[in-house]
Structure 1
Amino acid sequence: MLSLRTKVVLSNMLSCLLAAMAGALVWLTLGDNSLWLAVLLMLAVCYFCSMWLTKRLSDSLQALEIGLLNFKDNDFSVSLHPYGEPQLDALVSLYNQASAKLRSERQFIYQRELMLDKVIQNSPNVMLLVDDSQRVIYANGAARHLFNHGVKVEGMLLPELIAILPEALKTALNSEQEGLFSMGSSSGDSIDENDVETWHISRGRFTQNNQQHHLILLKQLTKELNRQEVAVWKKVIRIISHELNNSVAPIASMVNSGRFLTQHLDNTKLQLIFDTIENRTSHLSQFISHYAQFAKLPLPQKQLIDWSKMTQQLAQQYPFQVLSSLPQMPIKLDAVQLEQVLINLLKNAHESGADADSVALIFEDITHPVAGLLIKVNDQGSGMSSEVLSQALLPFYSTKQSGTGIGLPLCREIIEAHGGRISLQSRPEGGLSVKVWLPAQQS
């Protein structure tokens, strides 16, 4: 097989030969006076023959040039066809392989960008990108919700966005510092205007296209801190329950053995001692079981609730008034766990010193901004001080002489396992209002 270079040389030689033959033929035919005509004919024949013989090479190089210009414009869709020339076809094959590789990599990068954008847009963390002039370049869904009620904020100035924000958030954004700060609840599912949320702000800076960009990240830490706090309490409870059970079981066994060994003595004082030990160990076992229930709460088994049946069952234990229509919104909850929550809340309402007739249960279907169900348990009892309200949902905290301090924390654990929230508020007319918010869409 001849090389492309050899073929080009032979083509030039053939063109020259054909030109010489044409010129000689004209010169011999027309005589000496036709020398200049013969020379011009030779040049023309040589030119056109060379052009014709090298046409394939010229076309292939031109196609390759166009393809490379497309690469420069980030267009990798063009493929070249083979020309039947091995060296040219090898070059075409390499070009087509490069084009296919670049198309594949660009598609891969595009898919990753889509996935990354999807993750960022659905992230609960607020992400905001601004340039040196404080103009917003990019904002995810959480940022639009926080700053502009879900409306697009790209192109707006950051000072205009933060002008109407809570003072604590405004201060954090205007400051160049990073770290934790607290502010009133800004979430759409807030059930208590007095809720305080803990946030963390962090900042980043990078250069792109010779322009300085500033990245602002805001993360809501309230739920995360609450989860960590509950996890610590659960670990403590499991350790204490384990150690107490290891002591209670042998004591109960020894009491039974003591009764058997001394049954013939007929000693009333001895029987009183055994009865006392048995009663106290039984009470301690029940005490431990209450805490174990909190520490080993199973995951909710969700299904549609029959509210009529549930309210009838609740009324048999603790009477109350239903001051609203029953929920109409279809919502899946764990009926057993929710019933336990409402029993605890109704029990607390009756033990608050309120008249039985004043205890009320209220349902509200919420559609905006987040669809869900709001349940209120109201009473007209003695209420709670601000100090008690701030600690009532903590494990072990109780104002009752015989209370375990586990009822409200168990309610909170159940509600948060459903993706909801619980809060306590003093009522202006006296008494307490416990609000439970449960989202309609749950994972």
Structure 2
Amino acid sequence: MANRPMPAKSLRLSLLTRWTALVATLLVLGIGIALLIAHFLPGQPLLVMGLSLACIVPIAVITIRAQLQSMLSLFRALSGTVASYQDGDFAFSLRWPQNDELSDLVAAHNALGDVLRQQRLDLVQRELLLDTMVQNTPVAMLLVADKRAIVYANLAARQLLNDGRRLEGHQLAEIVQQAAPALAEALARSTDGLFTSGEGEQEEVYHLARRRFSLNGRQHELLLLRQLTLELRRQEVQTWKKVIRVISHELNNSLAPLASLAHSGAELVRRGQTARLPQILAIIEERTRHLESFILGYARFAKLPAPRPASCAWQPFLDSLAAQIAFVLDGAPPAPPAFFDAAQLQQALINLLKNAHESGSNADCVSMHLSQAHGMLRIEVRDRGPGMTEAVMDNALVPFYSTKRSGTGLGLALTREIAEAHGGRLVLANREGGGLAVTLMLPQPAIEES
């Protein structure tokens, strides 16, 4: 039917009213014809009935057929537009000239078409926006089906892996063979992580992230390759600047008094006043030892070796730790031995306990709680100091960040480095009632839980 606006209707007649009026009209017409024939043929009722039916039936058939024809055309048009909707074509609308229930059906159908058409337009716009964002992102994106066939790749992936040519339809294995060996090794690990490609000036650092999900009943994997070379180099420069500032500040604070003391000692020797020399030399020794400790702290952080985890009984480990720094053990240690690098973990706990004592907490409130369950070892160091503000907590694990006047900012950073090298993590939280709780969580082999 024509795609035209429905004209305004002043009178509404329902289908029931229209058909009732049509049947009543045909009935009245039939009675009138029968009476007219009976007037000319009196006394012959059968002949009158036959002639009446012969006149009224064709009229009724033609009238009803004409009424039904337009309705059947509307139904065929409705069926056609529904089929068009199924094919994604919403550029149709219908018109019904009568003001009845069918006009309401047509209006609802046209409104549905308008909604579907607008939704389709919005969907196309969103798809266009999403595709533009995906195609122009610097992150290389690959969508791989369960049989390792590439089903989607953006422009960055094409440039990185296939010289700008399409990747869809290729097998991931054959594309990886043409790429750098470092990428193949990163994909073989089946985990997220960093890898380096190239050498010297051509060295590039990438981060590989992978996510598996089900799409249309099939397993897919999304691979994201992000180049981090520039960001890491900028961060490296900023880190070096910060290290140089911290070291320069500490060296100046130590060397300036040392130079002054050395000059004073030389003057006293020249004058023959040697009584104060032991005191001056003791101060020089104290400052040089502090400087040595400062430098060694940086060296330990920079040269932290890979951990060598081994089975470790708790009691000897705790006795050795207690001999170096005081703490209260909250509860009994776990029964099974733990699995970690004892020397590195002891250094980490010394850092945490030292911070707890320096927080202003009473010594008897510095405690440690041990628990081991569900494949995780939890070591919690607690104190009753002032805790940390939100700003301090956000930066507490950043290397070289310290709120202490003589702090290096390496204690917590080194502890976190040790935890992450073991595959664990470090968590800081303020305690209810005041104080700080630092939790060191390390994964444990399943065999160690038996």
TM bin, normalised by shorter chain, reads 0.3 to 0.5
Look at both structures and tell me which one has the larger radius of gyration over its CA atoms.
2
What TM-score comes out, normalization by structure 1 length? 0.46
